[in-house]
Amino acid sequence: MHTELSAPSPWLLRWSHLIPAQAQVLDLACGRGRHMQWLQSQGCKVLGVDRDENALQVAQSFGDVLCADVENAAWPLAHRQFDAVVVTNYLWRPIWSPLMACLKAEGVLIYETFAVGNESVGKPSRPEFLLSHGELLDRCKALRVVAYEDVFLTHPDRFVQRIVAVNTDHSSQRFAGSHFKAEKS
Strands (E), the chain: 24-28, 45-50, 64-67, 82-88, 103-114, 144-153, 158-166
Give yes or no for a cis peptide into 124 (omega within 30° of 0). Answer: yes
Between 182 and 135, where is the model more confident? 135
Between 184 and 144, where is the model more confident? 144
pLDDT score of 117: 80
pLDDT per residue as tens digits for the range 129-173: 899 999 999 999 999 999 999 999 998 899 999 999 999 955 444
Residue 63: band (very low, low, confident or very high) from pLDDT cuts 50, 70, 90:
very high
pLDDT score of 170: 53
How many CB atoms are closer than 10 A to CB 109?
A: 27
Please state whether the predicted TM-score (pTM) of the whole model is above 0.85.
Answer: yes
pLDDT score of 3: 60
In the three-class reduction of DSSP (H, G, I as helix; E, B as strand; rest coil), residue 130 is classed as: coil
Give the DSSP letter string of 16-65.
Answer: GGGSPTT-EEEEET-TT-HHHHHHHHTT-EEEEEES-HHHHHHHGGGSEE
pLDDT per residue as tens digits for the range 19-30: 998 999 999 999
pLDDT per residue as tens digits for the range 85-134: 999 999 999 999 999 999 999 999 999 999 988 888 989 889 888 999 99
pLDDT per residue as tens digits for the range 77-93: 999 999 999 999 999 99
In the three-class reduction of DSSP (H, G, I as helix; E, B as strand; rest coil), residue 14 is classed as: helix
Contacts of 144 (CB under 8 A, 6+ apart): 165, 166, 168
Strands of 24-28's sheet in order across: 64-67, 45-50, 24-28, 82-88, 103-114, 158-166, 144-153
Query: Is residue 183 pLDDT above 80, yes or no?
Result: no
Query: Is residue 58 pLDDT above 50, yes or no?
Result: yes
Burial of 84: CB neighbours in 10 Å, binned 0-12, 13-18, 19+: buried
